Structure 1
Amino acid sequence: MIQISRSNTNIKGDLQITGSKSESNRLLLLNQLFNHVLKLENISNSEDSQLMQKALSNPTDTIDIHHAGTAMRFLTAYYSIQEGRIITLTGSDRMRQRPIGVLVDALRNLGADISYIENEGYPPLKIVGKKISNSVITIPANVSSQYITALMLIGTQLENGLTITLEGKIISIPYIQMSIQLLSRIGVNAEMISQEIKVPYTPKIEKKTLQVESDWSSASYYYSLVALSPASQISISTYYKDSLQGDSALENIYKDNFGVTSFFENGKLTLKNNPEFIHKDTITLDLNYTPDIAQTIAATCVGLGLKCHLTGLETLKIKETDRLQALQNELTKFGAIVVITNDSLTIKGYNIFEETPVLATYNDHRMAMCMAPLAVKFPIQIENEMVVEKSYPTFWQNWQQLGFDIKHL
């Protein structure tokens, strides 16, 4: 456990943030599929991306991806087309509780040979790699975008290409669009028209160097910190205004709701607080396209004493933990009156609290990081703080650079 605090709110700093985990893991798999013709720069140093690289180079027949959900989804699809390999794909206790049935059903419908070793619909999986010739699949649109992306990435290797029809309301569209744009950058002409995604068979691509943009989800914690710190100014690299990442919606969300202004120059993003900004009493946002920043936004509201109503959060229940329940549990420790449903979180008001909050992290990196900005208001204690290694291993070092006092208890 650590205690984190800060003696003043005049925060200045210039930080380099690791590459996007979402972009990195897509490009790592594509590089593997295309025989390593891509030179990738600023790859994420997250535990998830390290596990992805380790798994792709693992010659054994058992692959353990621990807590890495993206790796579980992407590798399930990848190993299903590796002819001649028989793989057991497993993970942590939590990973074995995270559903994967929708993806397995889709791959089976294409012709993949995948079976469940323990519980139906959940890892671990036995995957017998084989040639897949089917080219048309229908999948529910309201599932994790990682399922859809996993299919898109291997679609490049199917001899008849792949057409994916999405049924129902699509969630996390920006992540699907990221996948399409990354495919385009390497020379694959994938497209999405209405509810249909088409990925052409692409036997080879040209050699190319690609720089991974830094992670916008990680940037969210600095947006929150600046929102809570009237005199602060923080610069982070490497970020661009025309980002592929859906979480770049932070720029407008924090400008319109919290008075944080973003300035871009030569890959550097500078965040400043507008001291004259007038906050609304209640923040109302549909985060269907950006669920990964919901925890940060909710914590920002608590730090400012604002009410909020956040919707579009149905995927949060199947993440590293049930994030809606975890947020209710932990934000209540700050006096917040929190109501959750299957897809929403509402802060209706506040009670007085006096004790230093001791915050649980639920083996969820974002639960640790989204709470950290609150330390600019009052000391907080965070259990199992090293969960940040999943996506942002240098998180606490960066906060010390910004002048926060971090003590191990």
Structure 2
Amino acid sequence: MLLHRSAGAEVWQRGDLYDEHVERPARIVAVYDALLREGLVGRAKLIPARPAARSDLELVHSRSHSRRAVRRYEGEEEAHEALGLQLGADTYFAAGESGRAALLSCGSVVELATRRSVVELATRVVTGELSNALAVVRPPGHHCEARQAMGFCLLNNIAVAAAVARARLGVQRVLVVDWDVHHGSNGIQHIFEEDGSVLYASLHRYGHGFYPGTGGAHAVGEGAGRGFSLNIPWSSAGYGDAEYAAAFERLLMPVAREFAPDLVLVAAGFDAAARDPLGGMEASETPPAPLGCLSFVSPAGYAYMTAQLRSLAAGRLVVALEGGYNLRSISSSAAAVMRVLLGDDPPPLPPAPPCRSAARDILEASHAMAPFWRSVAAALGGPQAQPRSAVARPRLSRAALRELYGTRAYPRRRRRSRWPFKWRATTPSAWRGAARRRPAWHRFMYGDE
């Protein structure tokens, strides 16, 4: 998987590979070095990478794309033409090496998923071979379409693993969680959007045309797959541990428990972490990130999400590396995930509420999923809790702002009452009365207390 490098990569005299592209071999080298340095490799079992079989690829990808991916190319331009890639900022391809790296990456995820599937579960538990898995692979895969490579992704590793587990190993229900900051709708969601046996859940940036510009809350699937695409689109940058934990607690985990998966696959992109050049979660933007929000997902946040997912499917969990382009952030985050997979408790998160814009985003996604999942409808208070329109968002009350931020930024002022027509002062007692009329998003996140 180190063979896949951009056309501008150079090998220096001492043997070091210099590659300026963000999706470069140094990503998995940094992750493995961090796991080795912290003593996590010695606690795990290393599974050798194997290339994906063409028959496995054709469960997801078109026959022509699978055939071209398996074939060894002689020239870069021929490979570019055959796979339909765009050299440059989106996707690149190195003749010969990229194809082998993609097959090894995809085959590794398939191997890890199938070794822990329900058909072989009894045998593997008796031998004690695997309980869960972390696939440190590249190139990534969650953007790849059935017929087209896209977004640094040559083959859709997670989608192929899910298809193999279902078609050949008797797995009935697969949960795919995509916490990469970029939405995977032009890959995983498109592939399974009409399939009710795969629940795809994604947390991603969506506002201001963030790449790829898909994944709105009301993209819930098509046909038999309606309700099996759960999108939690963040309307802004600046969301961190508190927001992701709230999304898991209030929406994703209730739906996942109701779905009762047999296997959980995670598209683990770490580009919502600190200082990521493409994720930009902590970057300033216009409009700026909401006041009071944490600015990025920490390693403790990724460990929390992993621990939550590990409680599903009797622990049958495969985490596969996707995005994440800051070497320090991706290595520390992957190490935190690995500790949880090895049985360590995740570090506690500070008890911070999500920012109000994130709470609105979660509520909008909850309204979109309420017609399909009883747990979500019950949390919203039944059908009467549905908004008037699909895009309606409740306004924030001063009581909610006061309770969330504990601020005195709202001074005593005079307000005109409806009856009788005279001016009166707003007092703390009026605040207490208004607290009983909290907006819908606040009641959903914190209850009526």
Give the TM-score normalised by structure 2. 0.26
Give the TM-score normalised by structure 1. 0.28
